[in-house]
Structure 1
């Protein structure tokens, strides 16, 4: 409203006092006209005058701000309260109520100060009415602002069976109904509305706990019991959308507390309806869930929908246990976004078929028509077909060109016109409407004119040439006095940070062009090292001992990479007897470049000796296939270890649930920082630090490795170009994604994300609510530094001082981030506290 994105014609009202108090003047912090919208006459308690705002598209409205009529000190009118009515189609109107059933929102107590109210639950609507409420007869005036984001899901209603009561013995009664559903409740079914499955609130692992203040047990979930909901063992839900869409996937947040008879669904079958007046297609999409009886955490289940086109879906979710509970359902769809001036209009249902029919008619004229009357029709059809073919050929060539560019240059991941569309809002996304005035931006920054869509790459030619930008802004900040962490850094308390104690390192930072990238077996880059250290290599350079390959007994395949495989083997005759080892094996038909890289990696690995770095034990290079033998830890990787555990408590002890303590997590953090401190001392840049690349033994000793990329289990952690895993963008610093620059400072950024994983017990991906493209868009916000970037939330288990340290690791300016020496010194005193 305030910044004019909602134009005057989209703001209407039931009445107004004068032309100068019309609805177009109802904009927060604006003083045009007589300073506000004022409905005609004095308002009575029974009146329902309203201010109406047409948002032009479905919108997820989360906050409403109101003011009275200040009019430069002469105004006296304001509304003490208001109600909200809303409609998703402009015809059917609904009344908003808070989570306790109250429809009245408290507003202003004076004419000047704005009152900002969070909407719990938020509203999904296209048209919103603000209705002033008065207890006594009095004139009212209002100025309004709305906050939210486009509802890109396009879901306008879902239908399902009502939720049920759970009466577990020894536990509180859980009411698993949809308490905020805004449709109809009839014959124990919900129809025609939206509710808790689209309110952005994700339920906790224990469904009896609630994120809402004064919420009853089970409040965050909609749940059903198997034996009472359906004799066929499934729950059927129908989803209706604003228009036909191509469905990529459906994400269902489901509870999995199997100790109380609750599990995620075992399978789901979805049917598609291309047009709302039409019928259902006969061929469903069927998805079988991989059930997990070890991890009782609630989780998202992603159901691929095969890009099927439809305006409605009907899904049958099959029970895997006695109860099934959902807290959130969202959809990823493909469509072409429209601006407000280009709203989508329904096209004739069979336009394409009509064109074909007319073409056939033109080529087969009837006898009663003059022959020459068909000539213009035939020419028109032929021209149309030729134009369509030209457009299709152009699109194919353009796609091939874009794919080649993406494959050749990872730093040019998206073109300039890629836009971000958030399909839902949550606590982790900070929305500011209208945009705050930007802080001083780098000279290359260009602020787009459209605030809804931001360019991933800036338009300055120097920005498109990372080498030129690197020369112009070698570290993007030369000042050590403007710390992004805000203050000094006192050891051993990790509450503050200062450039003078831990933010600068004497070790040089190596850009991508200054290092050798080792592709090795996995196709990943375990370490990026100064080029002079591996500029030549012979067999004599390899200090690791040769080991008879016949003494390696195969146990299982750990993963597969671009040039070979990683196996878990038992090594007979190694120090310590028969021990488990990881064997990275190069394919015999690998290229000469891959073979040379593999030998270089062996040379580098043989130089590393640290308790927290994976150790090269021996090699098999006397004959093909080439192998390197490294340590393997009994507890596997840290990501899998933590995701299967809960934080230590009385409940975990009583139920024999695998758990870890807060001191264990701190101990792990210190070990990771110690290993990275060692690598930094050698000027080695890891490039892929994450919990998946940290191995763990029985004594919880951590060793940093590089197996993550080779394992299919973690393929979703990597951004893919033409089907090949390339970049772990959710762990990468903004300069690594946008500039292709990997340094120890970018490893520090990844360390901060790894800490975040540790203290969330690896229950979700970083930026789990953002798609890969949106993550890349977010790095552009870090570069522009205008306060609109999405930040990782503070994990509940994480001490505030430690989260502040994570924030320091994610500093925009590389020179302002801590060194690994400083991180280690800050974390170490907390291990034994």
Structure 2
């Protein structure tokens, strides 16, 4: 429960981060980096010297007392006045954005009276090149402690990006100095270690000198600034009017770095960005001024080159902002970088007016979002209760922390309510499922015992029960349970895990549960047999008295089709199957030749639950009798492994069959003859296939059977283009790409699913109608491509969310080339209506397709 709370806490603030322009916010990036909490290890804390072993560097942790040592780091040789030879160094192991430092004196159980009244800070990103910090006015010395116990926090203005930080006490030689320290900030995930730009220019505006130099740059400064970071990465973006600044008393233009086009004959400014290692870059965000009334505009074009090794790659990315904004307000411009990999990026920003002004540049690479301050801080919320930042003498900080505490309290209350609802919901579901399993087990046991001596009474019992079929499904009110697509991935596993009731139709080869489950089992049969709970797996439990044990020795293995929840699925030849079934059952093929069948085989080491589920599926399939539904022919349950034998059509599944038709067309087969009449002939032939699928689904819907995975991969093709609906697609590796995996647990065919199935976990006859519309689209396109092939799996989910939230934004599957207008407009689109009640029934679909042929 605590892990769920922390994860939701992080999710909440990640979403909040998106609302603050996705940039580093120094006011939020103020959380302890591990000196106090112990996340920074002893081996990462070093010093130039130590007074004694009991005042070594590892004891220099703020507000930390283990009972060992003398309570602080104390150097051996004190620096001279104004000097800073001695230092306490902290290695953060990676780059961090540091906004705040805290210091404390030595307490030593009340015996120590040493503290640092002043100190300086040096920092480094690589451990070799060190930079002395100074504030925006050039001051290097920081005022420290006045006593041994108070924590004194100082904002670093400007903030620094560093891995190594050194605290250097500046003291009178007559005094002893001891220090305990802490660093505050957040991890710097975009990896930028330096940028190189031309030195900023000076503007004279109405007699006022406006300086656009990078005043806090920490690299080499000459005509061009190199190997450093500065105002473009300080987390502060400029105001709309560049004459004003966030910094009190700063000169006009302070927040911006800018250039005039008069000194750039080529018409562009070149900026080079260097990173700590090779990244996969998604985009770059540049904050620009747009005061065009003063000759300042957004850049006209950005051309970015990439370098991973020693030379720049020849093919750059070019971006032009879409439209000239009418507003003069400053703004972020997002430059797409096309998922290019590089360790350095060189961008040329072309002038569109006299001046070009930047105040912030940020990168997004891979899945790492640049604004990590909120993510880091909130994920550390469990341990930030003792955060001493509340002692900062800054009213804005106190207000901010108070707001955060209030938000977290509200969030925790919501989490408690949600968890309470989920616990009760799961308890009710488990109770319903346990009742269903017990009831079904009792029924199967009664039938098994009665089979050997009351066969006729068994048939009458099944006949009386067939009228009480009902569908068991989870219902969620749309208004209360709608989830934004960005949160959907975290919730779907719960739906996938609990969305069904009885027997699962199969899983992927790695054992993840298949969401599709049959719902044909009646919940209303009398419970007179309540005391019988055992099940005899040595006899099959089908409701059809004609279902018999088939001799195993007459099955010949031909091909392994795939793996499912119960074990393996094999393609076999069944010898003498026609005679076994009798004259009343007509099957394709000669009675003298072996019959092609599919055999589902239970693993020999399967547990009791798997055996029960296997027998449940036998019971369900034994009830299905329709020309367009794959039939269960026989079983092998007298010994292990348990097997069920079903039809398998000689032309394989419909998806591959249609692909072969397409290939035949492309290679100059009969489809090249008389193009116009051929297109009509193909359309009629394909619609005939759709009519058969609609007929099979009409039969299933009459039994309240929800298929949940209707697609061409789950339809088999026999002689004369006979179509029968099956459920083998999930178990075949060939179609693994059609299923979207949720956190390694559940797999869902989201490209065929209705919005309510994706967002609410709700599967009904209407959701099967939606899937039929997609299946019809597959048929009429000859399975040339996957549905929504231009969208990623995540975008498919986003698509349903946009539609659910605001109609008119959903991307529909396009009309196939050979699809009549009335089929697409009147049938397909009606299958994809948002209101499930407005979708046609399978009876209506079958009638409409029959009339259209």
Fold similarity call, TM over 0.5: no
Q: Determine which structure has more spread, i.e. the larger CA radius of gyration.
A: 2
Normalising by structure 2, report the TM-score: 0.43
| TM-score after normalising by structure 1 | 0.44
